Chain A
Amino acid sequence: MFGEKAIELIRELHRASDGQLPAFNEDGIRQVLEEMKALYEQNQADVNEAKSGHSELISTIKFRHCSLLRNRRCIVAYLYDRLLRIRALRWEYGSVLPNAVRFHMSAEEMEWFNQYKKSLATYMRSIGGGEGLDLTQDIKPPKSLYIEVRCLKDYGEFEIDDGTIILLKKNSQHFLPRWKCEQLIRQGILEHVLS
């Protein structure tokens, strides 16, 4: 049956639930595009034959055309759903992605991520009365300006508001400005300790 390769792409993405980004399946996409090309060419040939009297071919042409549209739908949905996942990374992870994630993206997806990052930054600079406002901060209503955090891995030096530099070492505990560490918590480097 036509469209088998395309549905495999969808299954693969759907299996990676909870918004994770599996590796971009370049080979799978290529195979679907090849099938589409073949379908198109076969149909071109058969359309010409049908015009010269072989009207029994019309059903077959229609069959292939449906398959062509199905392949297109799968590819567009595959790419679109990946963009939704990539966009989520910007909100949950920050603007610099770790290599493990970047390796899963195509060159075009990296390009899209960078553009999205820029648009969002421009917008966030333009609001908040000229000073800008980081919309990715304070996803939950903050209870206090400072919070207690525990370091889950060796991170290195970290500068806080007043210019002091502290060393984030595995298992060390710190009392830090909430806005400075929210992103590090989301990234799994720090852990928010509730008092």
Chain B
Amino acid sequence: MGELHACDVLVVGGGATGAGVLRDLARRGLRTLLVERGDYGSGTTGRYHGLLHSGGRYVARDPLAARECIAENRILRRIAPASIEDTGGYFVATPDDPDDYVDGFQAACIAADVDCAEIPVTEALRREPALNPGIRRVFKLPDGSLEPWQLIESNIADARAHGSDAWSYQRLVGMERDGDRIVAAMLRDERSGSLTRVTPRFVVSCAGAWAGQIAAMVNVTVTMHPGKGTMLIFNQRMTDTVINRCHASSDGDIMVPVHTVAILGTTEQRVEDPDRYEITREEVAALIRQGEKLFPDLGKMRLLRAYAGVRPLYQPPAEVTAAAMKDGRQVSRAHTVLDHAAMDGVDNFVTIVGGKLTTFRRMAEDTVDMVCAKLGVTEPCTTADEILPNQVPGKTYWLGHRLADHEAEGGGDADLLCECEFVTRPMLDDFLDRHPGCSLDDVRRGTRLGMGPCQGGFCTFRAAGVLGERAGRAGATDVAELADRAILGFLRERFKGTRPIAAGRQLQEQWMIAGVYEGGLGVESLIERETPEASREVVGAQR
């Protein structure tokens, strides 16, 4: 039967939406538990392109989504500045983009309340000289670069400060339904295998593309249409501004500068199973061909990796049309809260579907409004008003912020573990102090260790050494297994990201790193061949 745990609300899924729902419920006085099967943000949230939408991408086809985006964009700049790089965005009309779309773009922006100013092409090219010199018009919008993991962490921290909690590596394995109510949920610890029985008054599914699997546990049908979006990471910021093509959204038409790299997005492809998909060389080639319309030299730039995320797209069954099945972009990015009391006769269960990272707070607010109405809670939503923990008002991040912060604190020498992303030993120790028992993947997402141009070739091994040193001094017995998982997991993950883009300098570096670890360092001796690694579940690489 396992351990028992009672709470007001159980939130399933530790992406941005779940973290936002947790925070909002906690602030309204409901004792809430969030559970996530892996690390926070390891699903779709951590696999997106990093764009803080201005709404410009949706003004023509989905004005409701555009309006929500700009409203949340303004709120996030206020409550989560440390998660945002204020890059600004250009929507550029290339010679291939239709005149009628371009001509109507500014008016459509204004109609949706999205700030939009046309600027001279020469000004845009001066700021972003790698852009296609053949662009005809440029509109400036308040897009930005949004860091998802820190955002999740801030939301969880705020929830904890309000008496709620979040557990990672806890997989929901079943729910018990008694008539019109869910009475219990069973969790399995993905590390120890131990079971916990939770008895919530209410259950909120924030499982995104996996929402159908959660609903099925209580015989409720939620038909998701997982849409795979493939993205490419380049080893340099060929732009400091978010660049969108000014046309009806399509493949390979957005470039987002993210810390030391830049991410080209995206494709849209239906997948059956959000845990199994592959990225093909053809997809990568098609993305680059499209991207070259924005940056003509893109084909010569070094690619670091390809990865994909699965969008939580949803349409009510009656509205599923042949067109929507063919092109996922026709499905609204706006979100829907499914009330399973009205739809399926389960009184204490809702699912939030659709949406996008930029609007996660609004999605949470709408969801929690419904939960509170059902539980008779009248507290209003305060998540848009209060700045998140660990944030300084108005202080967005910028590329050099870590070095600047380090020097502002007096500088001084410290062991630099990850040269690409400026992660020092004290920074890693601080993260490990705050996240006991975390994996190196968690470290990667939490500190950006290994996410720069060398993709972890040297720092992963060092971080594993630090984990080993700390665990050894603390008397832990699984030091070696921790280090194995770190090193093998990193090499596998890196390989997965390189596989669809294997060419040129990146393949050369992949070969060198593999040569170092497999040759002189004998990494294969660490593999336990009998035990399949949990990380193999997702075929596509992470961001």
**Does chain A bind chain B?**
no
Contacts from B to A (Cβ < 8 Å): none
